[in-house]
A and B are shown apart, each in its own frame.
Chain A
Amino acid sequence: MRRPSNVPSNDTISMKRFFKIYLEKPELAGLVFLAILTIVFQARSGGVFLNGVNLQGILGLLPEVALVAMGVTLLMICGEFDLSVGSVFALTPMSMAVLLEAGWPFLPAISVGLFVAMAVGFVNGVLTVKFAIPSFITTLGMLFVARSLTVVISGGFPPLLPLNVIPKWLFVTYVGPGDMFRVSFIWFVVIAVGMTLLLSRTNFGNWVRATGGFLPAAKSMGIPTKRVKIACFMICSLLAGFAGTLQVMRLGAPLPSIGEGLELQAVAAAVIGGTALTGGIGTILGGIIGATLIRVIDNGLVLSQVDANWFKMALGALTVFAVILNAWLRKKAKSIKVETGK
C-alpha cells in the first residue's frame, strides 16, 4: 500500500495498533481488577490467599458461578437477558433429585433435569421472540414460575439424595496435583473452551454477535435471528441447570432455595467482564473473569477478616467501576489514531 514519506514508520504504527487492539478488549478492565485484588488480598491475608488450600476452595466453587455467567454472557451478546437462571439453578437438580428418590437410575434422572432446563430456556425464548416482549419481562416471570415449581415438586420437604447412585467421581471428587480442584472444574474448562470456540470460530457465533450487534442488519442478511435467540436462551438455561446440578451433588442435598440472587451475580459477572447491556459486545472469557472476580472478592474479604456483609458492597462497587473503566479504556483506544483507509 502506498504511503507518503512523512508518515511514522511501520514500527510505530504496529505498536500503536497493538495498544489499540488491547485497550479495546472488553475483558481488559476485569483482568486489571483481578490482578489488583489478587495482590491486595495476598498482602492483606499474609500470604494465605494464594496458598494451595485456599485456591482449592476458590477453584472448587468457581465452576458453579462461572457456568451460569458464561450462559448469561452469551445471551447478553445476543441482545437478550435471562433473570430466571437462579431459579433454573434450583429447579434442574430438584427435578433430578425427585426422580432419583422415586428410584430412577442416575443417567435418566439427570437427563430429565437438564431437559427441564432447556425447556425453560425454550419457553423463555419463544415467548420473547413470538410476542416481541422484552426478555427482562419474560424471564422475570419465569424467575417466579420456576422457583415455585421447584418448591412444589419438592413437596415442601427436600428429597434425600441417594448418594450411592451418584457418580461423584465424575463430578465432584477432588483431582489434580495436591487435589487442587474438583472434577467439576474440568467440566467447566471443557465447556468454557467449547463456548469460546462456538462464539468466535463458528458461523453460529457470527450470527449471535450480528443479532445482538444490530438486529436489522442481521435480519436483512437473512440470519434466522429468532431461532438464534431461542438457541441462546436454551444454552443459557442448560448451563444454569448443569451448574445447579453440580452444586447439589457437591452439597449432597437439593435445597429449593439455592441460586437465589444468582441471576444478578451472573449479570454482574458478565458486565464486569465487558459485556455490553445493549448486545453485540463481550466475550466468554470476560464472563469467566467476572465470575472469578466475584469468587475472589467473596473469599478475599473473609481472609482479610473484613465483615462478610461488605461482600455485596464490594460487588456493587466493582460492577460500576468496571463499566466506567471499560468505557474509559475504549475511549482511549478510539483516540489512538490508526488509519482505516486513505
Chain B
Amino acid sequence: MNSDPIIQVKNLHKWYSGVHALKDVTLDFRRNETVGLVGDNGAGKSTLINLLSGMQSPTEGEIFFEGNKVSFKGPADAMEAGIETIYQYNSMVPTMSIARNMFIGREPMKYSIGGIGILDTKKMAVESVQAIADVDLHLRSPDALVGELSGGQRQGVAIARAMHFKSKVMILDEPTNHLAVKETQKVLGFIKSLKTIGIPGIFISHNIHHVFECCDRMVAMARGEVVLNKRVEDTNMTEILEVL
C-alpha cells in the first residue's frame, strides 16, 4: 500500500478569543498508518481535530486532503470529502432509532425537491442491518433506540456508519471514554481492524496504553505544539510521558 499522505496540515494556527490553542502545527497523516494523538487536556488535540472535521476553521495555515488544498465550511463538507469523525458521545441521538441515526444528514430518499424529500425507510433498515453486521456487531433490530444500547454498542454503530459511507479517513476522538473494560477492548478491536481494511485512522486518547496497542505512529502534543512524532517502534512510554 502506498504511503503518501492523505491529510497534510501546514503551519496551522488557531486562536480562541485571545488563547493561542494551536501553534504552527505541521503534520502528515499517511494512507497506511493509524496515528495515535496523545496529550494532556488543553494540549490542542481537540482543536486540531475540530479543524480537520470541519467544525471550525483555522486562523492561519493550510489543510491538504489527497493533495488538494481544502477549506471545509462545516462538518458536512469534511464528511463529503471522506473524513468521518467519531466523538466520545457526541455522534448519536439517543431518542432516535439505529436506522435513523445511521443516516442522519445523509438520508436516502425516494424523491426530493430542493434537498427535502421522502425517506427510503426500507433502504435505511436493510442497509443499517448490513452495515452493523459488517463490523461484527449483532443487534436485533434497526428500530431499537440508540438510547437503549450500551456505550460500546453505540460506538460500534458510529463506526459502522463511517464504514458504510466509505470514509477515507476515520478520526476517533476519545472513543473509549466512559466505557467498561470489555467494551473498550471491543472498540480497540474496531480500531485495529481499520488497518486491515485499509482505512487510515487518527485515534485520540488519554490512555497511552490504548494508543500503543493499536497505532503505527505516535504524535504527542503539549501547549498547542507537536512535541513528538515517531513510529511506535522508535519510541516508548517513558519518552512520551516525558515530553507531555
A contact set with B: CB distance below 8 Å = 1, 197, 201-207, 209-210, 213-214, 216-223, 280-281, 338-342
Give the top 5 A-B pairs by smallest Cβ distance, nearest first.
Answer: A222-B76, A213-B93, A203-B107, A280-B95, A221-B105
The complex places the Cα of A223 from the Cα of B54 at a distance, in Å, of 13
Q: Closest B residue to A279 by CB, please name it.
A: B95
Q: Are B93 and A201 in contact (CB under 8 A)?
A: no
CB<8 Å pairs between A and B, sample of 22: A201-B119, A201-B121, A202-B116, A203-B107, A204-B116, A206-B96, A209-B93, A210-B96, A210-B105, A216-B90, A217-B104, A219-B55, A220-B75, A220-B85, A220-B87, A221-B91, A222-B79, A280-B93, A281-B95, A338-B140, A340-B144, A340-B149
Q: Does B21 contact A (CB under 8 A)?
A: no
Contacts of B116 on A, CB cut-off 8 Å?
A: 202-204
Per-position 1/0 for B42-83, Cβ under 8 A of A:
000000000001110000000000000000001111010000
Contacts of B121 on A, CB cut-off 8 Å?
A: 201
Contacts of A280 on B, CB cut-off 8 Å?
A: 93, 95-96
The complex places the Cα of A338 from the Cα of B141 at a distance, in Å, of 10
Contacts of A339 on B, CB cut-off 8 Å?
A: 140
The complex places the Cα of A216 from the Cα of B94 at a distance, in Å, of 12
| B53 CB to nearest A CB, Å | 7
| B149 CB to nearest A CB, Å | 6
Q: Are A214 and B140 in contact (CB under 8 A)?
A: no
Given known A203-B109, A217-B92, A220-B53, contact A341–B140 (CB-CB < 8 A): yes
Q: Are B93 and A340 in contact (CB under 8 A)?
A: no
Contacts of A203 on B, CB cut-off 8 Å?
A: 107, 109, 112, 115-117, 119
| B18 CB to nearest A CB, Å | 20
Q: Which range holds the interface residue count of chain B? A: 35 or more
User: Mostly helix, strand, loop or mixed at chain B's interface?
Assistant: loop
Contacts of A216 on B, CB cut-off 8 Å?
A: 87, 90
Given known A220-B53, A340-B140, A341-B139, contact A206–B107 (CB-CB < 8 A): yes
Q: Closest A residue to B108 by CB, please name it.
A: A203
Contacts of B119 on A, CB cut-off 8 Å?
A: 201-203, 205-206
Q: Are B117 and A202 in contact (CB under 8 A)?
A: yes
Q: Does B227 contact A (CB under 8 A)?
A: no
| A212 CB to nearest B CB, Å | 8
Q: Are B91 and A213 in contact (CB under 8 A)?
A: no
The complex places the Cα of A281 from the Cα of B90 at a distance, in Å, of 18
Q: Are B94 and A221 in contact (CB under 8 A)?
A: no
Identify 6 new A-B residue pairs, CB closer than 8 A, beyond the known A1-B140, A207-B105, A217-B93. Answer: A206-B104, A214-B95, A216-B90, A221-B79, A341-B139, A342-B138
Q: Closest A residue to B80 by CB, please name it.
A: A222
Q: Are B55 and A220 in contact (CB under 8 A)?
A: yes
The complex places the Cα of A253 from the Cα of B200 at a distance, in Å, of 69
Given known A214-B94, A217-B104, A340-B140, contact A222–B118 (CB-CB < 8 A): no
Contacts of A218 on B, CB cut-off 8 Å?
A: 93, 104-105
